[in-house]
Amino acid sequence: MHIRDVIVTPVITEKSHMNIEKGKYTFKVAAKATKIDVRNAVEKIFNVDVEQINIQNNRAKRKNFGRYVGKSPAWKKATITVKKGQKIDQFFEGM
């Protein structure tokens, strides 16, 4: 798996925004990505040292679209903790 295929997009929520101050960044990652894949991708793309990685699989949820029933897609989320004093400059930091 190529490193650019591992990280799909950053996750921008209130909780993930508050965790940036603690050095924790949240990304949506590829479904088949492992912790090792995510570590290598983050270290090479953003030039930071990764301390810890937590991965969570978010399951598909049932959704109603008017009279039709469907499912939201399942996705995988990774929370990366970088070493103290380092940060990811390209990550959304708000105002």
pTM of the predicted protein model? 0.86
In a domain, 33, yes or no: yes
For residue 95, what pLDDT band results from cuts at 50, 70 and 90?
very low
Name the residue range of residue 73's domain. 3-82
Domain count, the chain: 1
d(CA 70, CA 53): 32
Band (pLDDT 50/70/90 cuts) for residue 80 is very high
Any domain includes 91: no
Is 89 part of a structural domain of the chain? Answer: no
- What's the CATH number where 54 sits? 3.30.70.330
The verdict on residue 64 lying in a domain is yes
pLDDT in tens, 29-47: 999 999 999 999 999 999 9
Q: Are 84 and 49 in contact (CB under 8 A)?
A: no
